[in-house]
Structure 1
Amino acid sequence: MINSDDLRFFHAIATHKTLAAAARALNISPSSVTQRLQGIESRMGVKLIQRPSRVVSLTDEGSLVLARARRVIAELSELQSIIDNRLQQVTGKLRVLAPLGFGNEYVAPVLAQYALQHPGLEVELTLSDVPEWSSMHRWDVIVYIGELRDSSLRCIKLAANRRLVCASPEYLAEQGEPTSPAALKQHSCIALRENDEDVTLWRFSRDGTEMPVRIHPRLASNQGSVVKQWAMAGCGIMVRSEWDIAPQLNAGTLVRILADYSLPDADIVALSSDDTAHRSPRAENFIRLLQASLASRPWEGKTP
């Protein structure tokens, strides 16, 4: 007879390429993995893993056990969530997805504070500027900045955030300052590739009139920190979120240009399940704590 712990153990093995990798994930020795696996196989009377093999390869029976293990683990997790919801306890695992730069600067410290407040809580923070929308069900809370394309998720605004056009003083002194969006075509532009957006179409507007400009970037990167470094080095003009460049604007190492024109805002939001039954106290309380932390827009008075 096997139990749920055995199923979780086998699930860990089956979802890693090698037994050594599974041992590292489980924080036990490879020999302990082999011994426990043999014990499970002995109790079930079947082989679950093909041997010998350099990679984990399941037998037909192993594939059947893995499918049932996934179902049992999911049901146990859901049962625990239901119980936690009834008790309003902040326990279990909180999975958070956030943009790389913003998550490192503003989300990670709040998560650390939250974990200290609730000893029964586990936290998993993933940072990515290119979220995989097809796997959004994996996360309890998604912190997102930019154009929102998935309307099936519940959206809570955390803070307003403008997109601004800027360049270094050195670049503007050498190349001159553009006086209209159209003039950007005569300048070196820097593009940040994020969120699968059309990053070369800068959608300016003024007094209700849209003035989109298609730029041809001389430099482009998928990392916001790299784009900012290039702009500060005098390589060209960029569009960047206010939360990220406010310290440099305050210090004068970057200068805002085309201030009479606006770009679509990129508000900072928290996304979670739209299903009330699946909202856990750990996620709801974290969103409220993050909202309170960002209410003062801490980047506004910040300097590098």
Structure 2
Amino acid sequence: MEKETSKIEVIQQLAQGGDAEAQFNLGVRYDRGEGVLKDFKEAAKWFKLSAEQGYAKAQFSLGGMYYSGQGVLKDFKEAAKWYRLAAEQGYAKAQFSLGGMYYSGQGVLKDFKEAAKWFKLSAEQGDAAAQMALGMIYEGGDGVLKDSKEATKLYKLSAEQGLVEAQFRLGAMYYSGQGVLKDFKEAAKWYRLAAEQGVAEAQLYLGIMYYSGQGVLKDFKEAAKWYRLAAEQGKAAAQLLLGFMYYSGEGVPQSFISSYSWANISRYNSNGADTKSLFDFLENEMSMDDVSKAQALSKRCLESNYKNCGS
């Protein structure tokens, strides 16, 4: 404890003496509450003193505080200004953030070409978020010529660094054969990585692959498992597919009540899209008492935020 206190005192002395790196480090301490009480205003103060001396990390951090409104009034123009100063010094995180502001039109005029430029500079330094963002730009053709191969290449670079959204997007490219040869095994591999980290859309598609035997051995239990995980995150398509599995008894014990309940929840979340056929089947199988039980179950499931949806 004494050693830490002594370290803070040294940083404070250096910062008060005008050392830009120490000012930045003191700002970080106040931002995180490390060795000092967390204080965003103090953090912003020290970041600004350092940033005004041209310290790129401080410029980026100050930009982030203006972007989020922590310690200062939220101001996208100021955020863009400080991001730009750091980006022009080659700081990859700032280049990505500035690209994002051009992409969304926050603090600057929306400009997909400028967004692509800054994303590319950051991506070339290995920033995973920038690689994914640039991949999205190439996939959509925003500010650049549409290029699915380039998009796939960038998604892979990002996915291999562990960025979960890039893993999902790479799985989708392999599944559809966009920018790469269609490969269900590779699709399943990348969908699984994203699904295991809780991405509902990846859980849905992995369930579909287990149901149909695409890239994996057909396994109805695994399909139902992944459908349920996606369903419990509010994914209407997964809720409907899980309802069908309860109807047929594939991968789960057959239960018309559970089937109706999940179909009812899916109808609620999708404004009734695609649920009619399952309700038509169920109406021929269920008593009014069972329908009432199913409606009560779906109500309880929704009210508990998917924590109490039955087995």
Superposition TM-score, scaled by structure 2 size: 0.24
Q: Higher strand proportion, which one?
A: 1
Q: Which has the higher contact order (CA 8 A, sep 6+)?
A: 1
Q: Higher helix proportion, which one?
A: 2
Superposition TM-score, scaled by structure 1 size: 0.25
